[in-house]
């Protein structure tokens, strides 16, 4: 395991104006190489603060990745700080200066005196080209310690990690670790973790769980460099989790909406949805996937009863007798969506997202999912007591997972 540290620089990161997504991107990148982030610091655009942060992280880290403060303005001080930390004067590189001048001119911007400082790097470091922006980065390699300085602009940082940092890591003999992800829905993280860890106790693998509500992601990283993950172990992991709960798996495991899209395409089926409590979230999720129009016909958002009647043909008597949040209404919503759109399948959901509107018989978090084809229709009742946002996300996943199970011929759990 390679101990790594992340240093993000910028007052805007400290005061909360900007969410520090760079450290997240850097951490995920380092994980791909089997790196383990042992510390992560954010500090102000201030030479002393940056030097102090470097002194704090470097005794234990093999790799340090710094982001931010490489711009041309007076508050961009990462260069000066590295020069001070390394005890190494800044030098101006003529070829970088030329390249900068060329880029500024190409963009129709004047190349000012202050911009020239972007061609300065500590003399013992190597330049890291930035093909996504103007400010190049630089790297200091010393025995047992490499420090990469990258720009703060997130889009530039991401490109440079892959295009400029990765080749240096390979040169240092740090290879991409084999990684594999299982994406799970319908089991709590603690249950998944208990099942998987019993199996992996004696393997040289790093196991990490990410709870991206409401799914749980299990990521396996091979710690032996260059070695692949063993197929029979991967299939054992799937079995121990519970195969029907693993909606996708792989080196880059697809999302639930991608899985559904693929199944619908393979089976040449189309889908329509009728949403109440999710307010369009199911349609939004399905259409996050490019090319969704080939199987997703569209959706109805019928939040109020009159619209459920007018658009979906839900009967007034059904609404009065059972209430809008009921198995009967869920079925009629799905039937209405199916017969209006002539889709192969229609899904519906109606529920109480709260915080108000619950009753003893139907507490907040109660929801019904309807499924209808031209030949049959059915509904399922679930309950998930939580906050409004989580109930909506959960019921969206539940509806999509129910569809997935239907398409795969699996049973539907409680
Ligand atoms: P520039 O040449 O644009 O000045 P820079 O290397 O000096 O680049 P910064 O000035 O630190 O970078 O930040 C540039 C932009 O990137 C700002 O809009 C800032 O909000 C954003 N940014 C900086 N650090 C982070 C971070 N850790 N996470 C997300 N965004 C960030
Ligand atoms: Mg800047």
> Which residue has the CA at smallest separation from atom 17 of ligand 1?
153
pLDDT at residue 401, rounded to an integer: 98
> Which residue has the CA at smallest separation from atom 10 of ligand 1?
69
Q: What is the token pair recorded at 265?
A: 């395409």
Q: Which atom of ligand 1 is nearest to the CA of 12?
A: 20
**Ligand 1 pocket, residue 261 CB under 6 Å:** no
The helix/strand/coil state of 222 is strand
Longest dimension (CA), the chain: 83
pLDDT at residue 400, rounded to an integer: 98
Neighbouring residues of 145: CB distance < 8 A, sequence distance ≥ 6: 58, 61, 62, 63, 64
> Which residue has the CA at smallest separation from atom 22 of ligand 1?
152
Starting at the earlier edge strand, list the strands of the sheet with 145-150: 35-43, 2-9, 63-67, 145-150, 137-142, 126-128
pLDDT confidence band for 1 (50 / 70 / 90): confident
pLDDT at residue 204, rounded to an integer: 79
pLDDT confidence band for 198 (50 / 70 / 90): confident
**Ligand 1 pocket, residue 70 CB under 6 Å:** yes
Statement: residue 29 has pLDDT above 80: yes
Q: How far apart are CA 349 and CA 366, in angstroms?
A: 11
Average per-residue pLDDT in the chain?
94
Q: Write the pLDDT tens digit of every residue in 137-166.
A: 999 999 999 999 999 999 999 999 999 999
Statement: residue 82 has pLDDT above 90: yes
Q: What share of the chain is helix, strand, coil (3-state, %, to 5)?
A: 40, 25, 35
pLDDT at residue 118, rounded to an integer: 93
Question: What is the value of pTM for the model shown?
Answer: 0.78
Decide if 35 contacts 44 (C-beta within 8 A).
no
- Output the CA 71–ligand 2 centroid distance in Å: 4
Q: How far apart are CA 118 and CA 153, in angstroms?
A: 15
**Length of the chain counted residue by residue:** 414
**Ligand 1 pocket, residue 84 CB under 6 Å:** no
**Ligand 1 pocket, residue 12 CB under 6 Å:** yes
pLDDT at residue 227, rounded to an integer: 78
Q: How far apart are CA 364 and CA 360, in angstroms?
A: 9
Residue 265's CB is within 10 A of a number of other CB atoms, namely 12
pLDDT confidence band for 43 (50 / 70 / 90): very high
pLDDT at residue 131, rounded to an integer: 86
To 5 degrees, how large is the angle CA 142–CA 124–CA 25?
A: 65
pLDDT at residue 181, rounded to an integer: 95
pLDDT confidence band for 347 (50 / 70 / 90): very high
- Output the CA 142–ligand 2 centroid distance in Å: 27
pLDDT at residue 230, rounded to an integer: 87
| Dihedral in degrees, nearest 10, Cα atoms 389, 394, 395, 398 | 170
Statement: residue 414 has pLDDT above 80: no
Q: Write the pLDDT tens digit of every residue in 289-309.
A: 999 999 999 999 999 999 999
pLDDT at residue 413, rounded to an integer: 76
Statement: residue 101 has pLDDT above 80: yes
Mean pLDDT of 226-233: 84
Q: Which atom of ligand 1 is nearest to the CA of 18?
A: 20
Give per-residue burial for 95-117: e unless 16+ CB within 10 Å, then b. Answer: ebbebbeeebeeeeeebeeebeb
Q: Write the pLDDT tens digit of every residue in 172-182.
A: 989 888 889 99
Mean pLDDT of 114-137: 92
Statement: residue 330 has pLDDT above 90: yes
Statement: residue 221 has pLDDT above 90: no
pLDDT at residue 249, rounded to an integer: 97
pLDDT confidence band for 68 (50 / 70 / 90): very high
DSSP string, 227-240: PPPPHHHHHHHHHH
Neighbouring residues of 213: CB distance < 8 A, sequence distance ≥ 6: 390, 393, 394
- Residue of 9, 23, 153, 157 to mutate, ligand 1, most atoms within 8 A of C-beta: 153
């Amino acid at each position: 395991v390679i101990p790594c540290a992340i240093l993000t620089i910028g007052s805007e990161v400290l005061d909360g104006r900007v969410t520090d997504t760079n450290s997240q991107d850097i951490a995920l990148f380092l994980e791909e190489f089997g790196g383990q982030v042992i510390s992560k610091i954010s500090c102000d655009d201030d030479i002393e603060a940056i030097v102090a942060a470097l002194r704090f992280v470097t005794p234990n880290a093999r790799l340090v990745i710094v982001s931010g403060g490489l711009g041309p303005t007076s508050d961009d001080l990462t260069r000066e700080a590295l020069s001070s930390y390394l005890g190494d004067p800044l030098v101006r590189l003529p070829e970088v200066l030329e390249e900068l001048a060329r880029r500024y001119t190409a963009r129709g911007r004047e190349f000012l005196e202050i911009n020239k400082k972007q061609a300065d790097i500590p003399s013992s470091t190597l330049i890291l080209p930035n093909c996504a922006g103007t400010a190049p980065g630089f790297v200091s390699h010393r025995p047992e310690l490499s420090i990469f300085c990258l720009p703060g602009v997130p889009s530039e940082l991401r490109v440079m990690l892959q295009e400029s940092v990765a080749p240096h890591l390979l040169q240092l003999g740090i290879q991409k670790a084999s990684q594999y992800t299982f994406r799970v829905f319908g089991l709590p993280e603690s249950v998944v973790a208990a099942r998987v860890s019993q199996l992996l106790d004696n393997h040289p693998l790093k196991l990490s769980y990410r709870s991206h509500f409401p799914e749980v992601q299990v990521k396996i990283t091979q710690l032996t460099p260059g070695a692949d993950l063993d197929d029979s172990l991967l299939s054992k992991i799937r079995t121990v989790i519970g195969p029907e709960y693993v909606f996708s798996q792989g080196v880059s495991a697809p999302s639930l909406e991608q899985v559904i899209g693929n199944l619908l395409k393979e089976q040449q089926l189309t889908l329509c949805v009728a949403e109440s409590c999710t307010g369009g979230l199911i349609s939004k999720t399905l259409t996050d996937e490019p090319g969704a129009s080939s199987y997703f016909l569209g959706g109805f958002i019928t939040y109020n009863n009159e619209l459920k009647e007018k658009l979906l043909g839900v009967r007034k008597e059904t609404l009065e007798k059972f209430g809008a949040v009921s198995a009967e209404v869920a079925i009629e919503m799905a039937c209405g969506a199916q017969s209006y759109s002539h889709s192969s399948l229609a899904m519906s959901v109606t529920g109480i997202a709260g915080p108000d509107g619950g009753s003893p018989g139907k507490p907040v978090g109660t929801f019904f999912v309807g499924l209808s084809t031209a030949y049959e229709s059915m509904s399922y009742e679930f309950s998930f007591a939580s906050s409004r946002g989580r109930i909506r996300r959960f019921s969206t996943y539940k509806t999509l997972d129910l569809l997935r199970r239907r398409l795969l011929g699996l049973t539907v759990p409680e």
